[in-house]
């Protein structure tokens, strides 16, 4: 069977979405809503953005729409696939009184596996980070495992990186190489088309059912040119693999207090980060009419942030009481201590935390100051004014 084909950007994408839905997947992909690109259920290829581009800078994300037929000319917004694999709010346990005893129930697994359409390399590496943490053999997260099982991934090459992207500094790049069943690369030279390459046997099977033609050397060369052009726009900004060593010993650096003068401790950076997995739980108990023994207790899990004061409560006292301490925890966990803890880097260089920071704080620039490096691209230098 063919492992690479060329499909029409409109009809072919439509056929792909419909094929995945017919195969029993819950198909999720990018859509335009309220002036932004978010991920949601899609039922046809025409639900995916057309003629969209995004302008990004520290503290800024804007959608531009033109009359072009481009399908993947944008970079992701605040949303990430994390929301579908580990939702922001979810019930995890229900305990109820039954026949004089207690019965506990976990929510059932999803009725359909997910198909993620349009995932970038940084996003696939972020899912791999979540897998490393939440599918840990000793303590797997059952809810996450249920959602992650049999996920079908349609990745896409990032042809137009944004000004806050820095994936090439931290082990990634514009083209996904792992973790996908199909990979799309949008081509313009020589005619608008999508090169589709399979990354798994299942991907090859699905590809065989999508109308298109065999890919030629011309198509593959055009795809290489797309990647090369994207890499040109992604000059390395930090020495990624050396960051743990370079940041070690920075705990008392004066920069933490300086950035704390601007940081609002709002937690936006942690909410949009596709690898942040901290969560908290609450229990809601339903009492009988007379307020005696409870009849039911529901436990829910919610995303949490290391910028919340009570996140570091130990014995009733927050050990990271200042914003400087909380920002230091955020940055050093991402870039310094994560590899020792999980054997992977905790940051994939997607730039979301910088784009969606209301104070325009750029994690790359801050890390560069801490290690005494020059931020060579100059992106994200809006340091003092948001």
| Cβ-based nearer residue to ligand SF4, 115 or 234 | 234
Q: Which stretch binds ligand SF4 (CB under 6 A): 50-58, 144-152, 211-219, 268-276?
A: 268-276
Out of 54, 168, 268, 329, the only residue in the binding site for ligand SF4 (CB under 6 A) is 268
The candidate with the shortest Cα–Cα distance to 207, out of 199, 352, 29, is 199
Q: Is residue 334 a contact residue for ligand SF4 (CB under 6 A)?
A: yes
User: Interface with ligand SF4 by CB under 6 A: which range of 28-36, 43-51, 246-254, 343-351?
Assistant: 343-351
Buried b vs exposed e over 336-357: b needs ≥16 C-beta within 10 Å? Answer: bebeeeeebbbbbbbbbbbbbb
- Can residue 267 be called a binding residue for ligand SF4 (CB under 6 A)? yes
Query: Distance between CA atoms of 257 and 328, rounded to whole angstroms?
Result: 9
Q: Is 369 in the site for ligand SF4 (CB under 6 A)?
A: no
For 290, other C-beta atoms within 10 Å of its C-beta total 6
At 173, list the tokens.
Answer: 């790049």
CB of 340 to ligand SF4, least distance (A): 17
- 178-181 long-range contacts, Cβ below 8 Å, gap at least 24? 178/124, 178/128, 179/124, 179/125, 179/127, 179/128, 179/153, 179/155, 180/119, 180/124, 180/153, 180/154, 180/155, 181/152, 181/153, 181/154, 181/206
**Which of 85, 263, 370, 379 touches ligand SF4 (CB under 6 A)?**
263
Residue 380 within binding range of ligand SF4, rule CB under 6 A: no
Evaluate whether 219 touches 187 at the Cβ level (below 8 Å): yes
Q: Does 367 bind ligand SF4 (CB under 6 A)?
A: no
Residue 359 engages ligand SF4 in binding (rule: CB under 6 A): yes
Q: Which of 228, 264, 319, 321 binds ligand SF4 (CB under 6 A)?
A: 264
Choose the stretch contacting ligand SF4; rule: CB under 6 A; options: 70-78, 185-193, 233-241, 261-269: 261-269
Q: Which of 130, 361, 367, 369 binds ligand SF4 (CB under 6 A)?
A: 361
Closest separation in Å from C-beta 379 to ligand SF4? 12
In this structure, what token pair is assigned to residue 60? 């800024």
Over the window 273 to 312, marking each residue x when it contacts ligand SF4 by CB under 6 A and - when it does not, the resulting string is xxx-------------------------------x-----
Enter the tokens of residue 289.
Answer: 């009419």
Q: Which of 176, 175, 196, 202 is nearest to 184 (CA)?
A: 196
Q: How far is the CB of 230 from ligand SF4 (least distance, A)?
A: 17
SS3 359: coil
Q: Which is nearer to ligand SF4, 182 or 247 (CB)?
A: 247
Beta-strand runs (E) in 79-220: 89-98, 101-105, 114-119, 152-156, 182-187, 193-198, 213-214
For ligand SF4, the binding residues (CB under 6 A) are 263-269, 272-275, 307, 334, 347-353, 357-359, 361, 363
């Amino acid at each position: 069977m063919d492992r690479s084909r060329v499909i029409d950007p409109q009809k072919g994408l439509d056929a792909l979405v419909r094929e995945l839905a017919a195969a029993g997947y819950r198909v999720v992909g990018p859509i335009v809503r309220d002036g932004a690109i978010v991920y949601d259920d899609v039922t046809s290829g025409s639900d995916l953005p057309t003629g969209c581009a995004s302008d990004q800078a520290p503290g800024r994300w804007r959608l531009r729409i033109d009359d072009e037929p481009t399908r993947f000319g944008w970079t992701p917004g605040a949303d990430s696939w994390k929301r579908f694999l580990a939702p922001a709010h979810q019930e995890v346990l229900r305990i109820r009184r039954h026949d004089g005893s207690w019965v506990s129930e976990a929510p059932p697994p999803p009725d359909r596996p997910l198909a993620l359409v349009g995932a970038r390399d940084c996003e696939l590496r972020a899912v791999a980070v979540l897998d490393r943490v939440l599918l840990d053999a000793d303590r797997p997260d059952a809810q996450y495992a249920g959602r992650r099982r049999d996920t079908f991934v349609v990745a896409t090459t990032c042809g137009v990186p944004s000004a806050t992207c820095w994936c090439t500094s931290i082990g990634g790049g514009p083209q996904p190489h792992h973790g996908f069943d199909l990979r799309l690369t949008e081509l313009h030279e020589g005619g608008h088309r999508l090169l589709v390459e399979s990354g798994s046997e299942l991907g090859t099977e699905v590809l065989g059912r999508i109308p298109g033609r065999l890919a030629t050397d011309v198509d593959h060369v055009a795809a290489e040119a797309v990647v090369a052009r994207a890499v040109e726009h992604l000059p390395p900004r930090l020495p990624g693999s050396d960051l743990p060593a370079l940041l070690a010993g920075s705990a008392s650096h004066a920069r933490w207090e300086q950035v704390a003068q601007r940081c609002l401790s709002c937690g936006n950076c942690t909410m949009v980060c596709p690898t942040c997995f901290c969560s908290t739980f609450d229990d809601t108990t339903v009492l009988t009419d007379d307020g005696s023994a409870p009849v039911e207790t529901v436990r829910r899990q919610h995303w949490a942030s290391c910028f919340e004061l009570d996140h570091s409560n130990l014995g009733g006292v927050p050990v990271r009481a200042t914003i400087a301490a909380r920002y230091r925890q955020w940055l050093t966990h991402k870039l310094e201590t994560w590899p020792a803890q999980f054997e992977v880097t905790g940051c994939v260089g997607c730039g979301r935390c910088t784009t969606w920071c209301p104070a325009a704080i750029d994690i790359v620039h801050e890390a560069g100051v801490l290690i005494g490096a020059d931020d060579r691209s100059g992106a994200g230098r809006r340091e003092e004014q948001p």
